[in-house]
Amino acid sequence: MGATLRQGGRAAMDFMVEITTASRPLGARWAGELARSGLDAHSLPDDIDAREGAVKQALAGSEAFAVHNLVMEFASVEHGRVARDGFNEMADVLLPRFAELEARGPATLSCDPDFVVPDYYRGVWFHRTTGGWDGHPEMGFVHSELIHKTYVARNFGGDIFAQRRAVLGMLPRRDYARILEMGTSSGHFTVALQETFPTARITGVELSVPMLKEALRTANANGWAWDLYQRAAEATGFADASFDLVASYIILHEMPARAIRAAFAEAYRVLEPGGQMLMSDVTPYRMLDKMGEWRADVQAKKGGEPYWREAATLDWSQAARDAGFVDVAEGGLDGALYPWVITATRPKADQP
Ligand SMILES: C[S@@+](CC[C@H](N)C(=O)[O-])C[C@H]1O[C@@H](n2cnc3c(N)ncnc32)[C@H](O)[C@@H]1O
């Protein structure tokens, strides 16, 4: 559900986009300076944590590096606050619309008052936004409409919504009827699932209620009967063999390796024999050279992603096979490195 911000919020969001866009040539400039310093993918230290020091030393006199880092640090810390302030300016208009959309429509949202979020999630300020996914009662709208559709979409290379639809083309079937999405958040991937499989019954699990409320409103506004639950991907509570597809988009990098493994095992359990799992996320580090790996790792750290390295170094295919899956395949969309997709099938008969 879209909204036009008031002048103050709009100007502040535009400034966040423009300052990061305008600083891009500085990134290209320090990359050139780094190349000329002789430090490259081969000469970087093998120890990933030692690479930052080596790069800083090589670029000690670089104004481009200093200013670019400053801008990115500012944007990283401030984008969430700016988006929240933009929402608060509009709250008088938006909240009545929210109440109406939550009350009327075919979608359902089930929250258990005794639900306890996993320990690795509690108190983590993902993306360095105050309080993380639960940092504002309307974080779903703040993140979906203001951060994702305005700030991320305009800063990120490629069409982030077309990518969500396109990864579904990597599935072997077009006739899924009972789909479970893990990490529904505000519903961006759920929309892609709905549009790709319009007759399927879609169920979503997600830890954050503010995010789920935005998904609920999106579903109701479009007449989609999604069943949304505040539950963890690794403990969905659904009966064995309840679904023919379990899918997720960019949640794995927010989970430690043990939770990813548990989510794969849960996907296996709730899939009917012959059903598929599709998980799409960030580029595995093994696909990058040492420089690419350092860049991804440092951006993740500065971007408030505490589990990115763990997720990007886990062997997802092995984890899927460990969970019992067969026909496991991994690769980037259209031969690119992002988004990275794993597909796997629960065998028709369980393996001995
Ligand atoms: C980057 S968002 C991805 C959102 C969505 N799938 C999309 O395509 O935009 C990650 C979401 O995963 C949720 N999440 C993280 N760990 C989870 C878990 N163990 N179970 C369910 N949801 C989880 C977070 O709360 C967050 O809303």
What DSSP assignment string belongs to 95-134?
A: HHHHHHHHHSSS-EEE--TT----TTTTT--GGG-TTGGG
User: Which pLDDT value is given to residue 264?
Assistant: 98
Grouping H, G, I as helix, E, B as strand and the rest as coil, residue 268 is: helix
Distance 342 CA to ligand 1 centre (A): 17
The pLDDT tens digits for 186-206 are 999 999 999 999 999 999 999
Question: How much distance in Å is there from the Cα of 193 to the middle of ligand 1?
Answer: 15
User: Taking CB atoms and a 6 Å cutoff, what residues make up the pocket around ligand 1?
Assistant: 118, 121, 133, 164, 182-183, 185, 188-189, 205-208, 211, 232-234, 249-251, 254-255, 259
Q: If you measure from the C-alpha of residue 35 to the centroid of ligand 1, how many angstroms do you get, rounded to a whole number?
A: 37
Q: Find out whether the peptide bond into 339 is cis, omega within 30 degrees of 0.
A: yes
Integer Cα distance of 193 and 251 in angstroms = 16
Residue type, 52: E
Ranges of H-type helices in the chain:
7-22, 24-37, 48-58, 63-103, 139-141, 153-155, 160-167, 188-196, 209-222, 257-270, 290-302, 308-313, 316-323
Contact between 339 and 163 (Cβ < 8 Å): yes
Burial class (CB in 10 A: 0-12, 13-18, 19+), 49: exposed
Query: Over the Cα atoms of the chain, what is R_g?
Result: 21
Locate 283 and state its tokens.
Answer: 């580029």
The domain ranges of the chain are: 7-105+123-133, 158-345
Calculate how far, in angstroms, residue 183's C-alpha sits from the geometric centre of ligand 1. 4
**Which run of H or of E encompasses 332?**
strand 326-332
Quick check: 317 and 302 in contact, CB under 8 A? Answer: no
Q: Determine the pLDDT at residue 69.
A: 94
SS3 275: strand
Helices (H), ranges, 38-179: 48-58, 63-103, 139-141, 153-155, 160-167
Pocket test for ligand 1, best of 185, 231, 258, 279 (most atoms within 8 A of CB): 185
pLDDT one-digit tens code per residue, 137-146: 999 999 888 8
- Order across the sheet with 243-249: list the strands: 108-110, 227-230, 201-206, 178-182, 243-249, 271-281, 340-345, 326-332
Residues 6+ apart with CB under 8 A from 66: none
8 Å CB contact between 107 and 219: yes
pLDDT of residue 129: 87
Q: How many CA atoms lie within 13 A of 234 on its CB side?
A: 19
User: Please, are residues 245 and 275 in contact by the beta-carbon 8 Å criterion?
Assistant: yes
**Residue closest by Cα to atom 9 of ligand 1:** 188
For the domain covering 158-345, report its CATH number: 3.40.50.150
Residues of the chain with pLDDT under 70: 1-3, 157, 350-352
Question: Could you identify the atom of ligand 1 that is nearest to the CA of residue 185?
Answer: 27
Distance CA 3, CA 146 (A): 9
How high is the pLDDT of residue 327? 98
